[in-house]
Structure 1
Amino acid sequence: MGQAGAGIRRRLALGTAVLTVAGLLAVAVPQEARAAASCPGRKVRTLQFATGSVLVHKRGGYVCAVTVPRKPGTKRQMSVSAQARGGRPVVDAGRFAYRAGPVTVHAGTRCVRVKGTVSGRSAGSGWILC
């Protein structure tokens, strides 16, 4: 059983190393990158403020926004809203640990306004993407 046991130990060591590296990569990926994956299209704006940031993506005539906290993991009050000019805002608000949103609006060629808050601090864009 000497060589058979050594082969098993090698495979266990390799499996443990692979799982460890995968875990480290999951932690090392920035929260912003994980949140951005929830919005399709290309990132066109990042609005930063003291407690977080709002990520704005555009694809075709659609605009998508997500608010992410600067320090994720603890539930806190967050919100994100997106509004095409002439339309009503689409809002996601509540107590979240990792992100508020995504919210998507069809803007076509109209201007869009986005806003995000984390723990009472906020950032707004004004009319953009006109």
Structure 2
Amino acid sequence: MDKSAIRRHMALGVAVLTASGLLSLAGPGTGTAEAAALCSGRKVRTLPFSTGSVHIYKKRGYVCAVTLRKRQGAYAYMSVSVRAWRARPAVNRGLFRHHAGPVTAHIGHRRVLVTGSVGSDSVNSGWIRL
């Protein structure tokens, strides 16, 4: 084999490895991994409901929340909201396929209210201290 043939084989091998790596990243993932990629910090709570779940993360006085849909598919109305005590809520709502959010709010040491919905079903955390 001459040097150009070896380079072609090496280039083909690198291309195959790159393609397989990209396909593994683009494939269907789990909901927890997707939420962790969207929000930084440690997971403090999950609020499940019949059509999805809200994942709540906390880091240095900030709270991040994401609403994940159970069954992915066509667009559906989804929302997620984080509201610190005596503050305006951070909201993300609209027609989404996979998730609503992330939304982040500074809570410091205050109580927080987290809500999320997918379609006609929703969940509400109540005022909680994280």
The code of the aligned residue for 1:81 comes to S
Q: Is the 8 A contact 1:31 1:72 kept in 2?
A: no
Q: Deviations over 1:41-78 (max 9, x none)?
A: 11111111111110101111111111111122421100
Please name the residue that 2:121 is paired with: 121
Output the TM-score relative to the length of structure 1.
0.82
- Identity fraction in percent: 43
Please name the residue that 2:56 is paired with: 56
The code of the aligned residue for 2:70 comes to R
SS in 1 for 2:27: helix
Q: Which runs of 5+ in 1 are unaligned?
A: none
Tell me: CA distance 1:118–1:61, structure 2 relative to 1, closer, same or farther (3 Å).
Answer: same
> 1:82, 1:67 → 2: CA distance?
11
> 1:89, 1:105 → 2: CA distance?
8
The code of the aligned residue for 1:12 comes to L
Q: How many pairs does the alignment contain?
A: 129
Q: Which runs of 5+ in 2 are unaligned?
A: none
Output the TM-score relative to the length of structure 2.
0.82
RMSD: 2.2
Q: Is the 8 A contact 1:42 1:58 kept in 2?
A: yes
> 2:66, 2:86 → 1: CA distance?
21
